Structure 1
Amino acid sequence: MKPIRLKKGDTVGVIAPASPPKQEKLKRALPFLEEELGLKVKLGKYVDAPYGYLASKDKEKLEDLHAMFQDDEVKAIFCACGGFGTARIASSIDYDLVKNNPKIFWGYSDITFLHQAFYQQAGLTSFHGPMLSSDIGLESIHPLSKTYFQQLFEPTEIVYTEELSPLEVMNEGVATGELVGGNLTLLVSSLGTPFELQTKGKILFFEDIDEQPYKVDRMLNQLKMAGKFADAEGIVIGDFHNCVPDEGKASLTLEEVISQQVKDAGKPTMSGFQFGHCSPNIAIPHGAKAELNTYNKTLTIQPGVE
C-alpha cells in the first residue's frame, strides 16, 4: 500500500518517537520543509517534552503518532531523529488507523522498528531517509540527501548505480522482491517479537553506526541463524559508519566480518550503498518492489508513492 504523493502547500507533521531531538537543529531544519519543499509544518504536541533518554513518555509518543495519522490535513509524517524508543510503543499502535489513513512516513535508524511494524501490520510503504534534527538540521548537508525528498512529490523509480558510490559485488546474480530492512541493531531486536523481520522472497538491506566489528559479527550471525539470509532473494549492504575496533584491540575487519557471515548464503549481494548514517544519505522506499542486478551493478527500486 503506497501513500499518496505530496503537493506544494500540503501540511506535514513532525513527531519524535525515539530520543529527544536537539531543538536548535530541529528549528534549523524546518525551513527546508517550508521554504525549499514548499510545505506547511505541524509540530507534534510532544516534540519538545524530553523524558530521560526518551523524547517523551510512551503514551505521549502514541498520542502524537495517532494524532498525525488521524489528522486529514496532514499528508506526511517526518521523524525528528532516531536514538532509542520506538520499539517501546510498537505493540500499542492502532494499526487499523494506519491502514485506513496511509500516509508518507519518513525516518531511519531507530525508526527501523516502525518501518517493520507498519509494513507488516498495515502493509504500508514508508521511507528510510535522513531526519530533521540529526541530518537536515546540521550546518552542512550533502545536496543529494536533500534531492531524494523529491520522490515524495512525483512517483520516481530510483536506479542506484556507481554514479552514486562505488559498489562491490560479493555474490553474483539477479534478485527481485520487496525491499525491507534498515538499521541492523533494530532488525536484530525485532527477532522473537510480533514485528520480527521477514525476508522470505524479499531483498534485505541493512546498515549501522558506531558498532565494533565483533558486535556486527554477533548481530549478523544471529540473523543468519534465524534464517534471514537464507530466506532472502538478495542482500544489499548499506553504510557502516565508524564501525571500527577500539585502538590497539585485535579484531577482524568489518569487511571480513560481513563477508564471512553473508557470503555463504549464496544470494546476490552487493555492498557500498549510501543508505544510513552517512553523507549523502540516499532515501529509499521501504517495502517497494526492487531488483538487484550484480552484473550491471544496479539496484532499481519502484516508486514509493502514488
Structure 2
Amino acid sequence: MLPQRLKKGDTVGIIAPASPPKQEKLEKALTFLEEDLGLKIKLGKYVDSPYGYLAAKDEERLEDLHAMFLDNEVKAIICACGGYGTARIASNIDYEIIKNNPKIFWGYSDITFLHQSFLQKANLVTFHGPMLSSDIGLDNPHPISKLGFQQLFEPMETVYSEDFSSLDVLKEGIVRGEIVGGNLTLLVSSLGTPFELNTKGKILFLEDIDEQPYKVDRMLNQLKMAGKFEDANGIVIGDFHNCVPDEGKDSLSLEEVISQHVLGAGKPTMKGFKFGHCTPHIAIPHGTHAELNTHNKTLIIQPGVQ
C-alpha cells in the first residue's frame, strides 16, 4: 500500500518509538517542518517522557504509535529519533490499525524494525529518511537531507546516481525488485522472529554505525547463513559510519569483510550510497519497486506516495 501524499497545511504526528530525542534539537527540526514545509505539528503524548534509555515505557510508546495512526487529523507520522526500543513493541502493535489507516511513516536506524514489520504485516510502504532530532535538528543540516521530504508531497522517482556520491560496482548486473533493508544490526535482530527480513526477489540495502569490522563480519555472516544474500536480486551498500577497528588493533578492513560475505551470492552489488548515519542522508521509500543498474551506476526507486 502506498500512503496518500501530503499537502501544505496537513498535520503530521511526531512520536519517539525508540530512545528519547534531544528536545532542543527536536524543536529546531519542528521549525523546519512548520516553516519550510508548511505543515502543522501534533506531538505524541510521550515524546518527552524518558524511561532510562527508552523514550517512554513500552505501553506508552505503543499508545502513541496507535494513536497517531487512528487520528484522522494526522496525515503522516515522523519519528523523532532512533536509538533502541522499537523491537520491544513490535509484537504488540495492532497491524489491523495500520492496514486500515495507511499513512506516511518516516525514520531510520532503530526504526528499521518497524519498516520491516509494517511491510510484512500491513503491506505498507514507508520511508527510510533522516531523523528529526539527530539530523534535521542540527545547526546546519545538509540541504539534500532536507530536500528528501519533498517526495512526501508529490509522487516522484528517486534516481540515485553519482550526482550524489561516488559509487563502486562490486558485481555487475541489472536487477529489479522491491527495495528493503536498513540498519544491519536491526535486520539481523529480526532473524528468527515473526518479522524476519524477507529478501526473496528483492533489492537489499544495508547501513550501520559505530560497529567494528569484526562485528559487521559477524552480522553479515549471519545474514549469509540465513540465505538473505542468496535470496536477494541485488544488494546496495549504504554508509557504514565510523565502522573502523580500535586503534592499533589487527583487523580486516570493512571493504574486505563486505566483499567476503556479500559477493559469494553473485548478485549485482554497488556500494557508496548515502543511506544511513551520514551527511547528506538521502531519503528513500522502503518496500516499493526499484531498479539497480551497475552499468550506468543508477538506482531508480519508484514513488512512495500516491
**Per the shorter chain, which TM-score range?**
over 0.9
State the partner residue of 1:205: 205
TM-score (norm 1): 1.00
State the partner residue of 1:182: 182
User: What is the CA-CA distance between 1:228 and the residue it aligns to?
Assistant: 0.1
State the partner residue of 2:21: 21
Letter in 2 for 1:2: L
Structure 2: distance between partners of 1:103 and 1:43: 16
Q: Secondary structure of 2:91's match?
A: helix
State the partner residue of 2:255: 255
Letter in 2 for 1:128: H
State the partner residue of 2:103: 103
User: What is the CA-CA distance between 1:89 and the residue it aligns to?
Assistant: 0.1
Structure 1 moving runs of 4+ over 6 Å: none
Q: Secondary structure of 2:46's match?
A: coil
Q: Secondary structure of 1:92's match?
A: coil
State the partner residue of 1:228: 228
User: What is the CA-CA distance between 1:247 and the residue it aligns to?
Assistant: 0.2
TM-score (norm 2): 1.00
Q: How does 1:260-279 map to 2 (within 5 A)?
A: 260-279=260-279
Q: Secondary structure of 1:239's match?
A: strand
State the partner residue of 1:218: 218
Structure 2: distance between partners of 1:255 and 1:140: 30
User: What is the CA-CA distance between 1:30 and the residue it aligns to?
Assistant: 0.5
User: What is the CA-CA distance between 1:140 and the residue it aligns to?
Assistant: 1.5
State the partner residue of 2:94: 94
State the partner residue of 2:121: 121
Task: State how many pairs are aligned.
Answer: 306
Structure 1: distance between partners of 2:140 and 2:245: 28
Q: Secondary structure of 2:147's match?
A: helix
Structure 2: distance between partners of 1:304 and 1:188: 25
State the partner residue of 2:45: 45
Structure 1: distance between partners of 2:148 and 2:29: 16
Structure 2: distance between partners of 1:134 and 1:94: 28
Structure 2: distance between partners of 1:242 and 1:111: 20
State the partner residue of 2:299: 299
Q: Secondary structure of 1:169's match?
A: strand
CA offsets 1:54-103 (integer angstroms, 9 cap, x no match):
00000000110000000000000000000000000000001000000000
Structure 1: distance between partners of 2:158 and 2:139: 27
Structure 2: distance between partners of 1:281 and 1:132: 12
CA offsets 1:239-293 (integer angstroms, 9 cap, x no match):
0000000000000000011011101110000000000000000000000100000
Structure 2: distance between partners of 1:169 and 1:84: 33
Q: Secondary structure of 2:229's match?
A: helix
**Residue 34 of structure 2 corresponds to residue 34 of structure 1:** yes
Q: Secondary structure of 1:78's match?
A: strand
Structure 2: distance between partners of 1:136 and 1:157: 22
Q: How does 1:49-68 map to 2 (within 5 A)?
A: 49-68=49-68
Structure 2: distance between partners of 1:69 and 1:304: 18
CA offsets 1:182-237 (integer angstroms, 9 cap, x no match):
00000000000000000001000010000000000000000000000000000000
CA offsets 1:22-47 (integer angstroms, 9 cap, x no match):
11111111010000000000000000
Structure 1: distance between partners of 2:267 and 2:196: 21
State the partner residue of 2:195: 195
Unaligned runs of at least 5 residues, structure 1: none
Letter in 1 for 2:44: G
Structure 2: distance between partners of 1:146 and 1:134: 13
Letter in 2 for 1:230: E
Unaligned runs of at least 5 residues, structure 2: none
Structure 1: distance between partners of 2:266 and 2:293: 14
Q: Secondary structure of 1:135's match?
A: helix
RMSD: 0.4
Q: Secondary structure of 2:255's match?
A: helix
**Residue 161 of structure 2 corresponds to residue 161 of structure 1:** yes
Q: Secondary structure of 1:115's match?
A: helix
